[in-house]
Amino acid sequence: MLSSLAKVAALALMVDATSAAAITVSASRIAGSAVSDVYPPSSTSANPSLFPSEPVVGFPGPTPTGLEAAAAQTAPAYPYNNGPAKSFPLVAPQPHGVSTFGDNFDITRYWGNLSPWYSVSSADYGLPNASPLIPSGCTITQLLLLYRHGARYPTSGAAPSTFATKVANAARVGFNVTGELSFLANWTYKLGAELLTPFGRAQNFNLGVEYRQLYGELLNNFTTQGAIPVFRTQSQDRMVKTAENFAAGFFGVPEYLSQVNIEILVETPGVNNSGAPYEVCNNSNVASRGSIGSTVAALFANNAFNATLARLNSEVTGNLTFTPTDAIAMLQLCSYETDALGYSAFCPLFTVDDFLNYEYYFDLSFYYNNGPGSPVSAAQGKGFLEEWLARFNHTIPPANSALNETFDNSTTYFPLNQSIYADATHEVVVLDALTAFNFTALFNGPPLNYTVGNEGTNTFVASKLVPFATHFTTQVLSCPARNQTKQIRFIVNDAVIPVSDSHPGCPVDPDGLCPFNTMISALTNRANQINFNYDCFANYTAAPGHDYNGRAPTS
Over the stretch 133-180, which tens digit does the pLDDT of each residue have? Answer: 999 999 999 999 999 999 999 998 899 999 999 999 999 999 999 999
Predicted pLDDT at 99: 59
Provide the number of structural domains found in the chain.
Answer: 2
List phi, psi (to 5°) of 229.
-75, 160
Q: Are 76 and 93 in contact (CB under 8 A)?
A: yes
Q: What is the mean pLDDT of the chain?
A: 88
**Residue 23 in this model has a pLDDT that exceeds 60:** no
Distinct helix (H) and strand (E) counts, the chain: 17, 10
Task: Work out whether the CA dihedral 382, 386, 388, 389 comes out positive or negative.
Answer: positive
Residue 66 inside a domain? The answer is: no
Lowest-confidence pick of 83-97, 168-182, 220-234: 83-97
Residue 466 and residue 421 share a domain: yes
Q: Which of 299, 333, 363 is the last residue of a domain?
A: 363
Predicted pLDDT at 380: 98
**Residue 28 in this model has a pLDDT that exceeds 60:** no
**Residue 528 in this model has a pLDDT that exceeds 90:** yes
**Residue 240 in this model has a pLDDT that exceeds 60:** yes
Residue 462 inside a domain? The answer is: yes
Residue 488 and residue 415 share a domain: yes
What are 497-525's pLDDT values in tens digits? 999 999 999 999 999 999 999 999 999 99
Q: Within 10 Å of residue 126's Cβ, how many Cβ atoms? A: 17
Higher pLDDT pick, 94 / 462: 462
Range of the domain at 328: 155-193+291-363
Residue 470 and residue 507 share a domain: yes
Residue 91 inside a domain? The answer is: no
Those residues whose C-beta lies under 8 Å from the C-beta of residue 253, and which sit 6 or more positions away, are: none
Residue 132 inside a domain? The answer is: yes
Residue 6 inside a domain? The answer is: no
Where is 491: in which H helix or E strand?
strand 486-492
* Average pLDDT estimate for 371-380: 98
Higher pLDDT pick, 342 / 550: 550
What are 388-414's pLDDT values in tens digits? 999 999 999 988 899 988 878 899 999
Q: Which of 307, 337, 363 is the last residue of a domain?
A: 363
- The three-class DSSP label of residue 544 is coil
Those residues whose C-beta lies under 8 Å from the C-beta of residue 107, and which sit 6 or more positions away, are: 92, 93, 94, 95, 334, 347, 355
Determine if the peptide bond prior to 447 is cis (ω within 30°): no
* Average pLDDT estimate for 433-458: 96
pTM, to two decimals = 0.87
Higher pLDDT pick, 98 / 302: 302
Lowest-confidence pick of 35-44, 127-136, 177-186, 364-373: 35-44
Lowest-confidence pick of 30-44, 191-205, 210-224, 465-479: 30-44
Residue 382 and residue 352 share a domain: no
Predicted pLDDT at 66: 65
Residue 344 and residue 486 share a domain: no
Residue 205 and residue 347 share a domain: no
Where is 477: in which H helix or E strand?
strand 471-478
What type of residue is 454? N
Q: Are 424 and 233 in contact (CB under 8 A)?
A: yes
**Residue 9 in this model has a pLDDT that exceeds 60:** no
Q: Are 265 and 273 in contact (CB under 8 A)?
A: yes
Task: For the chain, give the longest Cα–Cα distance.
Answer: 76
Residue 17 inside a domain? The answer is: no
Residue 189 inside a domain? The answer is: yes
Residue 527 and residue 465 share a domain: yes
B/e letters for 4-31, b = 16+ CB within 10 Å, e = fewer, are: eebbebbeebbbbbbeeeeeebebeeee
Q: Using pLDDT thresholds of 50, 70 and 90, give the confidence band for residue 14.
A: very low
Lowest-confidence pick of 36-45, 229-238, 249-258: 36-45
**Residue 84 in this model has a pLDDT that exceeds 60:** no
Residue 318 inside a domain? The answer is: yes
DSSP H helical ranges for 131-236: 159-173, 198-215, 219-225
Residue 448 and residue 421 share a domain: yes
CA distance 422 to 436: 19
**Residue 348 in this model has a pLDDT that exceeds 50:** yes
> What's the CATH code of the domain at 494?
3.40.50.1240
Predicted pLDDT at 51: 76
**Residue 15 in this model has a pLDDT that exceeds 50:** no
What are 468-482's pLDDT values in tens digits? 999 999 999 999 989
Residue 391 and residue 244 share a domain: yes
Residue 458 and residue 359 share a domain: no
Residue 173 and residue 219 share a domain: no
**Residue 87 in this model has a pLDDT that exceeds 90:** no
What are 245-300's pLDDT values in tens digits? 999 999 999 999 999 999 999 999 999 999 999 999 999 999 999 999 999 999 99
Lowest-confidence pick of 29-33, 110-114, 188-192: 29-33
CB-neighbour burial class of residue 69 (10 A; exposed 0-12, middle 13-18, buried 19+): buried
**Residue 118 in this model has a pLDDT that exceeds 70:** yes
Predicted pLDDT at 173: 93
Q: Which of 363, 385, 415 is the last residue of a domain?
A: 363
Determine if the peptide bond prior to 89 is cis (ω within 30°): yes
Lowest-confidence pick of 77-91, 304-318, 445-459: 77-91
Predicted pLDDT at 213: 92
**Residue 12 in this model has a pLDDT that exceeds 50:** no
Residue 202 and residue 119 share a domain: yes
Higher pLDDT pick, 27 / 217: 217
Higher pLDDT pick, 279 / 75: 279
**Residue 29 in this model has a pLDDT that exceeds 80:** no
Higher pLDDT pick, 335 / 60: 335
Strands 514-515 and 139-148: what pairing? unpaired
